[in-house]
Structure 1
C-alpha cells in the first residue's frame, strides 16, 4: 500500500510539473527552438530525478546515444522510455500520433521541437509528407525517433513491426540506431503502480544505410527484441509459458 501511495503522489506531481516548467521556459521556447528543447530536457530530468527518490525507480542509459542526424528506432513500452531516450540526445523529435497535438502543453511543445504528427491509418501518406519537408529543408537537424511497432507494447507481448521505419531508413539514407528497453517491467502502459528497480534503455550499434528494406526490417526486429528480452530478464521478468 505504501508503494501504491508513493506511485500516486509521483504521478500527480509529474503532471503538475509539466505546466510549471512549460510556463517558465515559454519566452525562450517562443524565441528559439533551442528553448523548447531545453524545456523538454528539464522536464525529463525532473521526472527521472523524482522517480528515483519517490518510487525508488532508478534509470540507466546504456550504449552510445547519437548526437548526429540519425533515425532512432526504439522499443516502446511506456511513457518512461520516451523520457529516457529524449533526455539522452540533444535534438530529438518523434513521429507521433496526430491526436497528441491537441493535448495542452504537450502538443504545442511537441510541434515546436519538430515532432511529426501522423494520422492513424494514413501513415504512408504522413511519412511521405515528412520526407518532403526534410528534403526541402523545413525540418531542422536532429534525431528522428520512431516506434516501429506503432504503439506501446507490454513486456512479453508480440506485436509486428510496421513498414514505416523501413521506409524512413531507405528514404533518409541515414544510419539507424536501434534502442531496446525494459521500462515496461516497472512502469506499465496503464495503471498507477510504479515498481521499484532499474529501468534501462540501451542504444544498440548502428545499422548503416544501404540495406534492402526487408533485410533492414528483419535485422532491426531481431536486434531490438533480443536486447529487450535480455534487459527484461535482467529486471526479473519472465514470459508466461504458452
Structure 2
C-alpha cells in the first residue's frame, strides 16, 4: 500500500513539475528573451521549485555539500538523473552545460539552454564536434561562467562502471582552469527512467578542485578516482536509508 501511494505521489510530482516549468518559462519570458540574467533567474526559480516540491510531495530531500565555485571554472560531474542537473544549477551562480544537440529541440528546455549559453554537441560528428565544443567554451559572452560537463557523457546508474570521456580532458587542457569534480548519489532516489521517486536524502558533493597544468592522461586518472570514490561513499550513505534487505543493491 505504501509503495502504491509513493507511485501515485511520484506521478503527481512529475506532472506538476513540468506544468511549473511551463508556467515559470512563460512568466519570465519577457525578461529572458532580452536578458541572459532573466533566463538564469527563471532556471534558478524552477530548480528551487523542484527541490521544494520534491520534499513535500514525495519526501525527497536534497543537499549540496562542499564549496561550489563562483568564478570561471570547469565542473566535471557524475550524471545519474535529471536531479543532478537541478542541484548543479541550484548551487552555481552562472552555470552552463555541455549538452547533446538533440536537447535543443525540447520545448522550453532547449530555448532556455541557449539563452544561458549552453554548448550543444553533435556526438555523431566525432572530432569535429570536439573542436567545435572547445571553440565555443573559450569564446562568446558566456565564457566566464561555470562550464559543466558530464564526465561519462551520459546518465549512468549508481554503482555501474562506464568509461570517462576524453572531452572533459580536452576542455581541462584547453581552458587551463581549475576543475571541480562532482560526486552524486541522486540516482538511488530519482532514477534515469521510470516514475518512482523514493523518499530520503539525495546528495551532490563538490570535491576539492584539481589545479590546472596536468597532462590529459594523469588528469583523467585523478578525476575518475576522486569522483568514483566519493560517489561510492555517497551510494553507501543512500542505501543505509533503506531497509536491510535493500543493502548491497546497485540501482
Aligned pairs for 1:1-242 (under 5 A) are 1-236=4-239, 238-239=247-248
Tell me, yes or no, if the aligned pair for 1:133 and 1:139 is still in contact at 8 Å. no
After TM superposition, give the deviation of residue 75 of structure 1 in Å: 0.3
TM-score normalized by the length of structure 2: 0.93
For residues 240 and 195 of structure 1, what CA distance do their matches in structure 2 show?
15
Tell me, yes or no, if the aligned pair for 1:154 and 1:189 is still in contact at 8 Å. yes
For residues 112 and 140 of structure 1, what CA distance do their matches in structure 2 show?
13
For residues 136 and 114 of structure 1, what CA distance do their matches in structure 2 show?
11
After TM superposition, give the deviation of residue 121 of structure 1 in Å: 2.6
Inter-CA distance 136–45: structure 2 relative to 1 (3 Å threshold): closer
For residues 147 and 134 of structure 1, what CA distance do their matches in structure 2 show?
14
Tell me, yes or no, if the aligned pair for 1:76 and 1:153 is still in contact at 8 Å. yes
Tell me, yes or no, if the aligned pair for 2:123 and 2:129 is still in contact at 8 Å. no
For residues 77 and 138 of structure 2, what CA distance do their matches in structure 1 show?
23
Inter-CA distance 5–200: structure 2 relative to 1 (3 Å threshold): same
After TM superposition, give the deviation of residue 135 of structure 1 in Å: 3.8
Structure 2: stretches of 5+ with no match in the other structure: 241-246
Inter-CA distance 92–123: structure 2 relative to 1 (3 Å threshold): farther
After TM superposition, give the deviation of residue 120 of structure 1 in Å: 1.9
RMSD of the alignment, in Å? 1.4
Tell me, yes or no, if the aligned pair for 1:95 and 1:118 is still in contact at 8 Å. yes
For residues 15 and 135 of structure 1, what CA distance do their matches in structure 2 show?
33
After TM superposition, give the deviation of residue 148 of structure 1 in Å: 1.1
After TM superposition, give the deviation of residue 131 of structure 1 in Å: 2.6
Inter-CA distance 124–90: structure 2 relative to 1 (3 Å threshold): farther
For residues 149 and 200 of structure 1, what CA distance do their matches in structure 2 show?
19
